[in-house]
Structure 1
Amino acid sequence: MSYLRRGDYERMLGLAVGVLEARQSDQLWEMVVQELLRALDSAVVITKDVEWTPSSGVVGAWHRDARQASVLAGPGVEHVRGGYPFAAHYGSHADRSPRTAAQLVGGRAWLHSETASATRESFGTRHMLGVPLPDADGHVRGFIVHRAGGDFRARDLLYAARVQPLLAGAAAQRGLLARWQATVQPSRPHEPLERATGYGLTPREVAVLLMLAEGLPAVGMARRLGISVRTIHKHLQNLYRKLDTVDRLGTVLRAQEAGLLPAASGR
């Protein structure tokens, strides 16, 4: 019977703390990818948060200890974009459990496929593990983890399943932070961070503030971030206290005045 070690859970806890404290979306994503590389003893992680086609779409590949993704180009990239065999499986099934390529099509069929040949040539790897994220729009998003040695074991699959909810929450947090920086002050992305720090706002509180401006109810915020409604209410109370407000509308208006949110347009 497979089981996780104490160190596995300690790493996941450390990643959760890091995600909550990260003030920049790129920094947050780097932590997530490096954790997958270390925990799954892998050489490369491909992140998929946009739609690809076999003929178009930028593919970013993260290597161990890299501070940012490198753009995959050249012969064979169309096979990587094709997503074989994960695109067909996750695109046509509700199943979002982590699966290896060999599990989906058989070890022999996978190792003799064109995609396996392309990944060996591009990365020097032999095996792949798909770790999908929940999707609300029908797109398949997540991570494709590449390993050079033996195939992923039962313990690796168990770890991937346990860390999935944390990855989903990190992806939501990253998206909110990136959009916040891009909309508040596109030409000076560090300025909103400095303003938020000045008010003592945590990155999680910034994410809740942005959803507050969207008019999302507490239930919707909790669902997007993968946390409880009770925790959302705690973040809201902290926002009211730190911005010296008493309700949602006043908080949004105060944040706009302080440059923490884009100024309202029109009425």
Structure 2
Amino acid sequence: MLGLAADLLKSPHPEHSWSFVVTELLGALHGRMSVLVDLDWRAGRGRMLAGAPEWLRQAPMNTLINTHMHEHPLMQQYAASKALRLVRTLDEIADARWYRSEAFAAGREVIGITRQLALPLRCPQGKIRTLIVGRAGRDFAEHDRHYARRLQPILDALDAHLVEHRRYRQVLPMAAQRGDPAVFELTPRELVVLALLAEGLTAQAIAHRLAISPHTVVKHQQNLYRKMRTRDRLSTVLIAQREGLLPLPSCARTTV
């Protein structure tokens, strides 16, 4: 999974990253299904963002999520916020009422699972964003939970990167001239850091946004300066704007 995450951080087209991740989790944890779900707990809405295996995409997953999310013991616990970051299994917290519930019966009938492990990701308050691996038979063992806990910071960082990369791609068409990052041999990760530098964020703030260490941010900055032959943030951002790697400030666009 570490190698996969590293490859996805380098991909210039990361749209299908989570499909690769859920497929990897499916095999590593010997599951029947693996999904990434995004829930707005207060609004009572949710959806599956990625799922494996292929047949799962034909299952009524969004209907199951929206109908039963508030009954789900793991989601109830995550909604309480105190336990939002814990990797848990259903068997650790569910009581007999869950196994007699319509929600449990629906999951068993529609997708054939009786056991679930949840690996939650960072998300804003009031939201739940988590990977869930399900299977029938025995519950997940401690070594499965340990594996998921070790993955959590890696997947947090990948998720944060994908969010910022998508935001960068949405803003870039505003640039008067689309530049080619390959001219400076910039990686997608460095482009994301470049865009956040342009917003004026400190290394500490960028680290928090990307779920990485400030030291790693500084290394990315140094790489940007070296590749773009600059010495500071301002000159780096100005060159990036001139070369079409970043949009020009709005005032500059209106005067052109």
TM-score bucket (shorter structure): 0.7 to 0.9
State how far apart, in whole Å, the 1-side matches of 2:59 and 2:240 are.
Answer: 37
Alignment-derived partner of residue 9 in structure 1: none
Q: 2:2 aligns with which of 13, 23, 42?
A: 13
Alignment-derived partner of residue 224 in structure 2: 239
Q: 1:86 aligns with which of 56, 64, 74?
A: 74
TM-score, normalised on structure 1? Answer: 0.81
Within-5 A mapping of 1:1-267: 12-49=1-38, 51=40, 56-64=45-53, 72=60, 76-82=64-70, 84-95=72-83, 96-106=85-95, 108-185=96-173, 195-266=180-251
Q: Which moved more, 1:46-55 or 1:232-241?
A: 46-55
RMSD: 2.8
State how far apart, in whole Å, the 1-side matches of 2:62 and 2:232 are.
Answer: 54
Contact 1:134/1:168 (8 A) holds in 2: yes
**Number of residue pairs matched?**
249
Which residue identity is paired with 1:90? Y
Contact 1:21/1:202 (8 A) holds in 2: yes
Displacement after TM superposition at 1:83 (Å):
6.4
State how far apart, in whole Å, the 2-side matches of 1:234 and 1:28 are.
Answer: 24
Contact 2:38/2:48 (8 A) holds in 1: no
State how far apart, in whole Å, the 1-side matches of 2:226 and 2:4 are.
Answer: 28
State how far apart, in whole Å, the 2-side matches of 1:79 and 1:30 are.
Answer: 24
State how far apart, in whole Å, the 2-side matches of 1:164 and 1:155 are.
Answer: 14
State how far apart, in whole Å, the 2-side matches of 1:216 and 1:244 are.
Answer: 21
Structure 2 portions without partners, runs of 5+: none
State how far apart, in whole Å, the 1-side matches of 2:63 and 2:214 are.
Answer: 48
TM-score, normalised on structure 2? Answer: 0.84
State how far apart, in whole Å, the 2-side matches of 1:231 and 1:74 are.
Answer: 37
Displacement after TM superposition at 1:138 (Å):
4.3
Matched position secondary structure for 1:90: helix
Which residue identity is paired with 1:134? R
Show CA shifts across 1:52-101 (max 9, x none).
668644334511268x9668468644335436112220111422211112
Show CA shifts across 1:114-149 (max 9, x none).
221222233122221111123353422221222133
Cα separation, partners in 2 of 1:250 and 1:77, compared to 1, 3 Å:
same
State how far apart, in whole Å, the 2-side matches of 1:124 and 1:63 are.
Answer: 14
